[in-house]
Amino acid sequence: MTRRLMLTVVAMVAVFTLQGLAHEGHDHKVLGTVTMAAPDHVMLKDKDDKDDKDVTVYITRDTKVLRDKKPAKIDDIRNGIRVVITARTVKENGVDKMVARQIELGAAQSAR
Q: CATH code at 41?
A: 2.40.50.320
Please tell me which residue, 105 or 111, carries the higher pLDDT value.
105
Please tell me the predicted confidence (pLDDT) of residue 99. 94
pLDDT at 15 exceeding the cut of 60? no
Which residues form the domain of 86?
27-108
pTM: 0.71
Q: What is the mean pLDDT of residues 91-104?
A: 91
In a domain, 14, yes or no: no
In a domain, 7, yes or no: no
Overall domain count for the chain: 1
In a domain, 72, yes or no: yes
> For residue range 40-97, what is the model confidence (pLDDT) as tens digits?
999 998 776 667 788 999 999 999 999 999 999 999 999 999 999 999 998 888 888 9
Where is 107: in which H helix or E strand? strand 95-108
3-state helix, strand, coil in the chain (%, to 5): 20, 50, 30
In a domain, 37, yes or no: yes
